[in-house]
């Protein structure tokens, strides 16, 4: 358990806990350190319902349920003067590649960026995905996740790329098959809305679409 925070939702009292897990084994950790490889971590928020205003074990209603989470890619002992760490992120998702490339560009243009902003980089963590169940949005759970990630990786620079995907809109992959597989549309408005949200959590603009969490 990383963090806990009581909340009230729709007249039901909830306690929230964030759990961190990883699929990495010992060899993966060694490789991550030796070769600038990536560790993958999952942070999951569990909501525990309580009876009335009770928050003790005696007032629990049912079992905890997952209501959100985040996936984080971590590279340890990053040498930002080299390119190995950049290659490691390039080998994965588009957002990871974008975040690493944007950071690299900032450091190329301003080698003193780290010291100017007190963002010295020992490890690099990129939040690759954040999902919150619709009924639990608007309750500060994104901040709860970020606090847990920051506490877990206190010596890491934390980056993320707000999604420009609009989960409410999609289009068929093929005009010839309108009822076939669909893809989510990209939306500048959706990106701007999420960027504003992450600023409220504490992130700042880095470069391009990438944001970073100041220390």
Over the stretch 112-139, which tens digit does the pLDDT of each residue have? 888 776 667 788 999 988 889 988 888 8
How large is the average pLDDT for residues 60-86? 83
pLDDT at 173: 47
Q: How confident is the model at residue 166 (pLDDT cuts 50, 70, 90)?
A: low
pLDDT exceeding 90 applies to what percent of the chain? 28
Stronger pLDDT, 70 or 10, i.e. the higher one: 70
Q: How confident is the model at residue 158 (pLDDT cuts 50, 70, 90)?
A: very high
pLDDT at 77: 83
CATH number of the domain where residue 123 is located: 3.40.630
Q: What's the CA gap between 215 and 117, in Å, rounded?
A: 8
Stronger pLDDT, 2 or 158, i.e. the higher one: 158
Query: Residue 75, SS3?
Result: strand
- Is residue 159's pLDDT more than 90? yes
Which residues, including other chains, have CB under 8 Å from residue 15's CB and lie 6 or more apart?
4, 5, 6, 7, 47, 48, 50, 55
pLDDT at 119: 64
Which residues, including other chains, have CB under 8 Å from residue 134's CB and lie 6 or more apart?
none
Task: Work out how many domains the chain is built from and give that number.
Answer: 1
Q: How confident is the model at residue 95 (pLDDT cuts 50, 70, 90)?
A: confident
Query: Residue 35: which domain range?
Result: 3-213
Q: How confident is the model at residue 182 (pLDDT cuts 50, 70, 90)?
A: very low
Nearest by Cα to 5 from 145, 203, 130: 145
- Is residue 47's pLDDT more than 80? yes
How large is the average pLDDT for residues 155-162? 91
Q: pLDDT averaged over the chain?
A: 77
pLDDT at 53: 56
Q: What's the CA gap between 60 and 151, in Å, rounded?
A: 27
């Amino acid at each position: 358990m990383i963090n806990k925070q009581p909340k009230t939702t729709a007249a039901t009292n909830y306690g929230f806990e964030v759990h961190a897990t990883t699929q990495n084994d010992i060899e993966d950790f060694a490789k991550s350190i030796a070769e600038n490889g990536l560790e993958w971590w999952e942070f999951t928020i569990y909501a525990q319902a309580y009876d009335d205003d009770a928050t003790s074990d005696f007032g629990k209603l049912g079992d905890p349920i997952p209501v959100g989470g985040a996936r984080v890619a971590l590279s340890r002992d990053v040498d930002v003067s080299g390119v190995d760490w950049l290659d490691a992120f390039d080998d994965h998702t588009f957002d990871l590649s974008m975040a690493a490339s944007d950071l690299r560009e900032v450091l190329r243009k301003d080698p003193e960026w780290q010291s100017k902003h007190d963002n010295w980089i020992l490890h690099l963590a990129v939040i690759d995905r954040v999902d919150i169940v619709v009924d639990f949005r608007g309750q500060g759970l994104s901040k709860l996740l970020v606090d847990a990630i920051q506490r877990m990786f206190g010596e890491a620079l934390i980056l993320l790329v707000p999604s420009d995907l609009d989960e409410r809109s999609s289009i068929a992959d093929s005009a010839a098959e309108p009822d076939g597989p669909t893809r989510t549309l990209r939306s500048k408005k959706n990106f701007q809305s999420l960027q504003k949200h992450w600023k409220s959590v504490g992130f700042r603009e880095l470069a391009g679409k990438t944001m970073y969490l100041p220390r």
